[in-house]
Amino acid sequence: MEIFQIFCIILGGVIVVQFILLAFINHKYTKLLNALKNREVDNVEVKNGVRYTVDQTVLDEQGNVNISLSQKDNVLKMNKTEIVGIKNFVKPGKYTLLSTSDDEKTFNIRVGSYVTEYHHNQSIVLTEGQEVTAVNCSVILR
């Protein structure tokens, strides 16, 4: 065998290995993209890089947590204290508390100096000047 024939055989082997590798990667990413498409929610609206769902139900048919963010919702970030006020991020009023995690149906919120456990879809009334902090996870105020 000549050097040219050996070189062609080695080159052919490398091309076959690359083809198999690319086919495997393509199969893996196609499977991942299909799984992501199945998780998509219908009637999604995107404004300023934030996804909002039109479906405002907080529990699905099986009683599981349904997380949806509407345009007028406030998200209390974990361990970030917000002061309730007319010109502040959180306005005074009655809010429905929603969990931001499917796994957590209960969460703790510090209002003033007291920490209280709340449930998904529970109401809370916040008044002017109160300090509000989500303790163990982020919480949606609707």
Q: Rounded to an integer, what distance in angstroms lies between the CA atom of residue 71 and that of residue 15?
A: 52
Q: What is the pLDDT of residues 109-129, one digit of tens each?
A: 999 888 989 988 888 888 889
Q: What is the pLDDT of residues 65-120, one digit of tens each?
A: 556 666 677 888 889 999 988 888 888 888 888 887 767 778 899 998 889 899 88
Residue 128, Cα to own-chain centre: how many angstroms?
30
Q: Rounded to an integer, what distance in angstroms lies between the CA atom of residue 142 and that of residue 95?
A: 5
Would you tell me how many other CB atoms lie within 10 Å of the CB of residue 50?
10
Strand-pair partners of 122: 97
Q: Write down the H helix ranges in the chain.
A: 3-39
Where do the DSSP E strands lie in the chain? Answer: 44-47, 50-53, 74-76, 82-83, 93-99, 106-111, 114-119, 122-126, 131-134, 139-141
pLDDT > 70? residue 39 = no
pLDDT bracket for residue 55 (50, 70, 90): low
What pLDDT score was predicted for residue 141? 84
